[in-house]
Structure 1
Amino acid sequence: MTDPTFGITINRSANEATTASKAQMSVVGICMPIDKAASADQTAFNTAFPLNTCVKLNSNDTSILALCDQDGGFIDAVEGINDQLGSYQTAATLVVVRVAEGVDDAATMANITGTSVAGTGIFAFLDAGPDVGVYPRLLICPGFTKVHADGAANPVLASLPTVANQILAQVIADGPAGLTDFTDWVENHAGMRIIPVSGGVYATDSTGTDVLRPMSPRVAGLFVRRDYENDGSPFKSIANQTVYGITGVEKNLRFSLTDGSTEGQQILAVHGGIIVRGESGDDFSISDGGFVFIGTDNLSEESVWDQYHKVRGRDFVELTVLRTVRSYLGKYNLTTQTIQSVVNTISTILQNRQSNGDILGFRARFDPDKNNASDLRAGHIYVDMQFEEAPVFKRLTVASRPYAAALDATIDEILAAQNA
């Protein structure tokens, strides 16, 4: 079709602020050995769960999960996640990496750790995007992050932040129960992408026996639930959330809302997460009943990033900007309209988050200090994006004191009644 000699030509252009493409933050990555069900075909099992390879599945995919030992650690992890799902949720999205079980714990942890060169173990998650179409943003290795030699870091947990940093994920790390052991363990690790939890939980197996299980899958399930409640946005804490599907905790921690010297409060003080039981007759407990998770922090050494929901929220915004603004690259010339469309798109993303109560305020602008003619000529612009995540409500101080004015008001009321 050629342009008319006498007529009208209409050219469509979409060079305007575009709709945000939200990042997925609730996909759970699980790396661990997986036991085959006794009745399952070995070939079918190996095909469903090839070693050191990302496999994407839904947590309610019974046909695949039936290949696994129903009392094994992997099925417990899946059930622990599923137990926390909220109203109208039917499944969580999982990315699973199976590794070989070693001759002992050290060999198994070496297989989980894998290598970046070979892309094995946890490093297989780095290829999840191109391989299965999604990156896991909540990583767990249930039961394999707390074992450590005296004075040494856990080898799996020492390597997990390397993976998490590259794919913008959070690591939920199982740590020892009790303040002394937990403190010794946590002192060997640091980073804003590690969310440490103290102790395990008891869950019932297929024979009706209560078995000690890792806490991390349950915590991952809480994140999946809270994100779903917030329209997929990871700006909410999972603190003060009921944990379902457990019959008890590895250690019943003393906890009081008003006394920082209790063991539960002391674990929180070193950035740990705990599960405590509610007590109906205890005014100082976290709830009247059930098992409740308490924990708001990661292991960041910078106070601005030590609340995990802030890190997850910023990851979400940055990834959403990346996914949305990439549609402009190469498609449009760098004109005033293109630049304004990019800035407006980023502003809209932030405005939505502020309207949702996720951030307190923001500013997005064409940076006057960094942009210059040479960069513009090369097709390069700088946009200044600033926003402040809403902090989690952690502590309340109430000033309780007498109110003398009420006495004066009472006297005035009595005198007025006498003189009436």
Structure 2
Amino acid sequence: MANLSFHHGTRLSESNETPVLVQVAQTAVVGLLGTAPDADPIKFPLNTPVLLKGTPTDAEGIGDAGTLKDAIDDVFDQVGAYTIVIRVEEGVDLAATMSNLVGDSTARTGVHALLKCEPMLGIKPRLIAAPGFTSGDGLVANPVVAELVGVLDALRAVAFVDGPDTDDATAILYRQLIGSQRVYVVDPKVLVWDTTTDAYVGRPASARFAGVQARVDKALGFWHSLSNRPINGIGGVSRPVTYGTHSNYLNENHVNTVLNTGESFITWGNRGATGDDLWVFLAVRRTADFINEAIEKAYMEFVDKPFSAANLKLMIESGNSAMRTFVAEGAILGGKVWLNDDLNSPIQLASGRIMLSLDFEPPAPMEDIRFIAHRNIEYYLELTKTALKGAA
């Protein structure tokens, strides 16, 4: 009866019955896998995620050898993003190094070390690249990419992988061996100035594309495409691609590329390595990932609470409030959360199970903008009227 104890004045207590806050996780987090045989083994232990917090000095101790130093530079040329580095042991040859990158799912080595990022660092990478180890000949699938696909699904991440850098036909054959909404193929290589040889050298483009997407996420939002954006720090490409029929041939076959606009080099292409037309755009896949994950995490607040009208109402209101926010930001075109009676029988509810229904639609990139041009000879009348007025 303490609540009825004597009191002279006013009282206030806060109710816990308020909608939960649905928050999107950090999206512009790059994950790089590669080699660095001269790295400080204390700062960069093998198969262990190490977080670089957005400045090149964070990479001190990585060493000059291997692939990671260049990959870090590729990302930081685009934006100072959170970048998680995972160093694998360099093998006696390329095949042995590839095996180290494929890794072991039980020991969580190689690409599977990406799954250690969130428990160790509190964030997880969403933009993955392993430049130098994800290319192929178009005849057999790249083993690192093949192993990486399942990890991407678990992380709700995407990977930027490099094509063969030979010709268009081989690049398309390479892409056809993948088949994942979460894999974005880039071909050809980009040219980067090498200060040791004082010349441009070809370098895999994947890490730079990851950096561009991170920059877009930070500046505009995760629902924006990385296509048609400047690529910093390159002087050309190893195989020029011209705008129009040439770039369309690659993009139509889900191979993304680099164009020279005459003013800058830009990313060009929206499509993941999948035949599913509804999920072909990388921006759509990523938007769905982040919203689905945000809803799942937010609703942990309701787990184990008792069934009550108030809790059910809060669950629905929380979801719809989040959808309104996402619509206002431009992340989705529309969305809603509701309770479908047909999916929630008394037996299911009494067993502690409830099924909420959810829909939303990410905005597709306006990839194909068309015009119909018409002649209008009536403009001659305007011409003569203007001339007559001038004569008067």
TM-based fold match above 0.5: yes
- Aligned counterparts, 1:271-286, within 5 A: 271-279=254-262
1:176 aligns with 164
CA deviations over 1:4-46 (Å, ceiling 9, x no partner): 5455986532222122222122211111111326xxxxxxx11
How large is the Cα RMSD of the aligned pairs?
A: 2.3
- Alignment match of 1:250 (pick from 238, 242, 257): 238
C-alpha displacement at 1:74, in angstroms?
A: 1.0
After superposition, the C-alpha distances for 1:205-231 in whole angstroms (9 at most, x for unaligned) are 33333222110111011111111113x
1:197-346 aligned at under 5 Å gives the runs 197-207=186-196, 208-230=198-220, 233-256=221-244, 260=245, 262=246, 264-279=247-262, 289-330=263-304, 332-346=305-319
CA distance in 2, matches of 1:409, 1:363: 52
Tell me, yes or no, if the aligned pair for 2:34 and 2:66 is still in contact at 8 Å.
Answer: no
Q: Counterparts of 1:8-407 in structure 2 under 5 Å?
A: 12-36=14-38, 45-60=40-55, 62=57, 64-70=58-64, 72-85=66-79, 91-148=80-137, 151-177=139-165, 178-207=167-196, 208-230=198-220, 233-256=221-244, 260=245, 262=246, 264-279=247-262, 289-330=263-304, 332-403=305-376, 406=379
Using a 3 Å threshold, how does the CA distance of structure 1 residues 401 and 125 change in structure 2: closer, same or farther? same
Report how far residue 3 of structure 1 moved: 4.5
The residue matched to 2:273 in structure 1 has which SS? coil
- Cα distance change, pair 10–139 in 1 and its aligned pair in 2 (3 A): same
The corresponding residue for 1:284 is none
CA distance in 1, matches of 2:370, 2:118: 46
What does the per-residue CA deviation read over 1:47-95, in whole Å, with 9 as the maximum and x for residues that have no partner? 1111112222224151x5221224642111111111112xxxxx21122
What SS class does the counterpart of residue 258 from structure 2 fall into? strand
CA distance in 2, matches of 1:73, 1:99: 10
Per-residue Cα deviation, 1:96-123 (whole angstroms, up to 9, x for no partner): 2111111111111110011212211001
- Superposed displacement of residue 265, structure 1: 2.0
Per the TM alignment, residue 362 of structure 1 is displaced from its structure 2 partner at its CA by: 1.7
SS in 1 for 2:361: strand
Shift of 1:188: 1.2
Deviations 1:167-221 (A, max 9, x none): 1010111112230220221121111011111111111233333222110111011
User: Would you say the 8 A contact 1:362–1:386 is kept in 2?
Assistant: yes
Q: How many residues align?
A: 385
- What is the alpha-carbon distance in structure 2 between the residues aligned to residue 183 and residue 304 of structure 1? 20
For 1:210 and 1:403, the matched residues in 2 are separated by 51
Displaced runs of 4 or more, over 4 A = 1-11, 404-411
Aligned equivalents of 1:379, 1:125: Cα separation in 2: 34
Contact residue 35 and residue 74 of structure 1 kept, 8 A: no
5+ residue gaps, structure 2: none
TM-score by length of 1: 0.86
In structure 2, what is the Cα distance between the partners aligned to 1:59 and 1:409? 59
Aligned equivalents of 1:357, 1:137: Cα separation in 2: 20
Question: 107-116 or 333-342, which moves further after superposition?
Answer: 333-342
- Distance in 2 between residues matched to 1:410 and 1:147, nearest whole Å: 61
Q: AA paired with 2:48?
A: T
- What does the per-residue CA deviation read over 1:151-176, in whole Å, with 9 as the maximum and x for residues that have no partner? 21110111111100011010111112
CA distance, structure 2, for counterparts of residue 122 and residue 140 of structure 1:
10
Gaps in structure 1 of 5+ consecutive residues: 38-44, 86-90, 280-288
